Structure 1
């Protein structure tokens, strides 16, 4: 069809002008038959470098008629503020920009199979109104920036965006972002979607920010893939959001933390946040992501999707842990913040005199406490052997030397840092630290009650750990009693405290400062208790031993190496089977162990059952502090059971008698008939059965008290494990 150029209507005149601008062979027309009338369209083909700003004739035509540009491979920078209907098909455009115009609304803007090749910006739309805008099958090599614009219909289908997609503070009546691939950041914050909006099957390779968006109608994220954690904080869904098959590639704690930290760094690099403290920025980011997961969890719960909701709840707790971690000051300073901290420390140089006085005072108090401690435990030196005494003196001297150095009056920057941190320390921080540690433990043991296999294996490991601890402790106690080395419990307790300190020091980069303070505080408490209370030092040793076993088991459980996992699980199940065969009561931590007399007298009963009538008679006399073992008093067979009951009931008295009989120079402390004492001691020392009974009494006491003390801790551990196990199992059964 040919156009009659002799006619004088506007379309014909505009067509002539286009031919003059671009050439006769490059300008055609097409009639489109609509419902009410026939539309005529100008078609411009294969042209380069259109200057629409300086060409007033072309601008007038754009405001009147429909123009399509086909197969234009080098359009360059295209700036169109006022237009009616314009389309680009299979074109290559450097930049397209449209700013606020005089027209009230721009009717149609269409891009089909177009490529935008600028490496800076591809689309710039600022504070303008559009009726219909369509992007289909387009490729963008850089950013799309839309700000403060309004769209009646916005279609963005099957497009690849290699740069950022930013559409802030916009209003979309209807929007469609189906099947598009966003390779860089997407930012739609503060935008309003009045009617339906669809993101179906789109892929977001990097951070997608939807915070403070308003979805007035259906918002469909069906089949959407987020390669990094998105931000949905403060989003409002007035109607149900479709979140079916919405996938998050960032599922683990490390992945989500990496995404959060990356967003925090981006905000730190933003000019708007340059003057804000780093800790404030990180805390705000973690809080935003936590709110985002909470919103998605609530939305999924309301639609009955419990599986995905539990995953978002898990991620919500991840972010809460990060938030607490940041609030507690675990994150390190950047170079900028570190310089500020150094300047602050330098300003404290004027306070050096007061600091030195403070450390002098602390030094004096420490020395006084050490002297009081040594004086209070001087009585225990009598039970030490020479080697143990030497080791204790050496240990005290080492502690004194370390404290002397730590609180010396020499200028030291890190001492000022310690003092500054003490001044800044708040009691409330320990509450936050406790919440942080609870989240940390639940994440590593059950993944916040979502991983049944993990919590089951951890429970098995805790049972096996306690069983192994009992085996090692009992065998060690037996060795110590047989060798007469009870004094070694104090030294070993201090060594175990040192081992825990070394473990803390070796993991100082992973352990929070408050964790170190708590461990140091508990270590000092155990040290202060262990030294003066020698008669229960074995209990302290047992508790520390169990604590060390539990710490090592937890450390091995967290290892990600396949070899470590296989070895840990194998050993755990082997020990579990052994526990089932030997001590099945350990499986049920709620058993009342304090009323089990057999536990308290197990070894003593075994030795008594081996003894003859004469030995039982002598033990009965010794139970009543009767040292005359040559007495002719006889006991018949019927009284054997009564003798056993008497011996067991008076085993403490019997132990005290054996203490005198087997202790060197004990005759000097005996107040009775010394001739009878000498005869009794000779008889007892010549028969090993008495020594075995003596050792059995002591070993029963040590094992029983150690078992009771450690069992309390074991009950607490198992209650937490069983709680997590049942809660995780219930969630999995619901799923």
Structure 2
């Protein structure tokens, strides 16, 4: 059977729930489309005061999925229950998105201020739900979270070797040019111009409405991969990379404005740039809408880098491995790399936690 609309929020299942041959498989995008479809059909030809908001529909769907989840948990069906918990979180993300789109309250008293603070908290929850959906599909997709783990390790290895190349003693002939402070002194003006361009472009990018662009390039429904899809997919990757470059430029711009007054050295600005670029690049590659270039091509390259590092220099995968193997590396003593190692360790712990939780929730072996 196929359900046209879902509203089991007030239902109570006294017997075991049988969902065999029932089509209740959703992705985030088609569930969002389904909620919008129900919203449009319900509010058709109704007065404004009688209309029901989209976030209310998302909440109704969420209650229905929670009812199914509770019934399956009661039947000790943890595998199917985890899927309905995933749909429940999908609905919560859609609901939070709609709440954020609403206009803020005019602050007249403490209650109004608390409502606005709550909206900011909801926005942070929305970003967190979106990140976990992209990272591991809310602990239901083991392959996705494993791929993101390999991506993180490969990206970290590239940053470490890039930093090592810039500071290698073997490059004595070019080191005068590639020295950290000399590089910034010679090209600071150009770098400031590029940073300004990225900031202006980024601000304009978010201010402009991209609905028409998304509709024109939303060709993922087509089964055959064609030239238009490849171009759209590549543009999505470029969009993600531009956003990843925009964030470090904003931080570097703030450093340029306040660094002098706070007596911060150039090494602080360099470290800030490198580390914000690392974090923003990883998050944007996880979030990217680009399927072919942003996921398949990047992941193939990441696996190649990971295998090479695993065989030739496993201590790069994590500095702790090098300490256990007594392979000290002088480059890990640089302040910029120390901060990079801390951020990498935090991200690695987060991904490994999601990996083990996903593996445990999807295992047929009782935990």
Distance, in Å, in 2 between the alignment partners of 1:283 and 1:303 is: 30
Deviates more, 1:232-241 or 1:522-531: 522-531
Whether 1:725 and 2:355 are equivalent positions in the alignment is yes
Distance, in Å, in 1 between the alignment partners of 2:199 and 2:322 is: 31
Whether the 8 Å CA contact 1:321–1:439 is kept in 2: the answer is yes
Whether the 8 Å CA contact 1:493–1:544 is kept in 2: the answer is no
1:305 corresponds to: 77
Equivalent residue in structure 2 for 1:262, among 37, 49, 54: 37
Distance, in Å, in 1 between the alignment partners of 2:2 and 2:313 is: 56
Distance, in Å, in 2 between the alignment partners of 1:727 and 1:440 is: 18
The residue correspondences of 1:528-539 to structure 2 (distance < 5 A) are 528-532=257-261, 536-539=265-268
Whether the 8 Å CA contact 1:459–1:718 is kept in 2: the answer is yes
Do the aligned partners of residues 531 and 284 (structure 1) sit closer, same or farther apart at CA in structure 2, a change above 3 Å counting?
Answer: same
Whether 1:275 and 2:5 are equivalent positions in the alignment is no
2:99 corresponds to: 327
Distance, in Å, in 1 between the alignment partners of 2:361 and 2:205 is: 37
The residue correspondences of 1:333-732 to structure 2 (distance < 5 A) are 426-476=116-166, 478=175, 479-481=177-179, 484-487=182-185, 492=191, 495-496=194-195, 499=198, 502-503=201-202, 505-506=204-205, 525-532=254-261, 536-557=265-286, 558-581=288-311, 583-588=313-318, 599=329, 602=330, 704-732=334-362
The residue correspondences of 1:55-454 to structure 2 (distance < 5 A) are 202-204=1-3, 207-208=4-5, 230-249=6-25, 251-271=26-46, 274-275=48-49, 281-329=53-101, 426-454=116-144
Structure number with greater Rg is 1
Superimposed CA distance per residue, residues 59-100 of structure 1 (whole angstroms, 9 cap, x where no aligned partner): xxxxxxxxxxxxxxxxxxxxxxxxxxxxxxxxxxxxxxxxxx
Do the aligned partners of residues 504 and 551 (structure 1) sit closer, same or farther apart at CA in structure 2, a change above 3 Å counting?
Answer: farther
Whether the 8 Å CA contact 2:132–2:138 is kept in 1: the answer is yes
Unpaired runs of 5+ residues, structure 1, are 1-201, 209-229, 334-422, 603-699
Greater fraction strand: 1
| 1:485 positional shift | 3.5
| 1:527 positional shift | 4.1
Do the aligned partners of residues 536 and 257 (structure 1) sit closer, same or farther apart at CA in structure 2, a change above 3 Å counting?
Answer: same
| 1:328 positional shift | 0.9
| 1:256 positional shift | 0.3
| 1:591 positional shift | 6.9
Distance, in Å, in 1 between the alignment partners of 2:30 and 2:10 is: 23
Distance, in Å, in 2 between the alignment partners of 1:320 and 1:494 is: 41
Do the aligned partners of residues 203 and 440 (structure 1) sit closer, same or farther apart at CA in structure 2, a change above 3 Å counting?
Answer: closer
| 1:580 positional shift | 2.7
Superimposed CA distance per residue, residues 371-422 of structure 1 (whole angstroms, 9 cap, x where no aligned partner): xxxxxxxxxxxxxxxxxxxxxxxxxxxxxxxxxxxxxxxxxxxxxxxxxxxx
Q: SS of 1:241's equivalent?
A: coil
| 1:574 positional shift | 1.9
Whether the 8 Å CA contact 1:449–1:727 is kept in 2: the answer is yes
Q: SS of 1:247's equivalent?
A: coil
Distance, in Å, in 1 between the alignment partners of 2:265 and 2:115 is: 35
Aligned pair count reads 309
CA root-mean-square deviation: 3.8
Do the aligned partners of residues 203 and 570 (structure 1) sit closer, same or farther apart at CA in structure 2, a change above 3 Å counting?
Answer: closer
Greater fraction helix: 2
Do the aligned partners of residues 578 and 533 (structure 1) sit closer, same or farther apart at CA in structure 2, a change above 3 Å counting?
Answer: farther
Superimposed CA distance per residue, residues 584-640 of structure 1 (whole angstroms, 9 cap, x where no aligned partner): 2343476798xx9954xx3xxxxxxxxxxxxxxxxxxxxxxxxxxxxxxxxxxxxxx
Unpaired runs of 5+ residues, structure 2, are 104-112, 168-174, 212-242
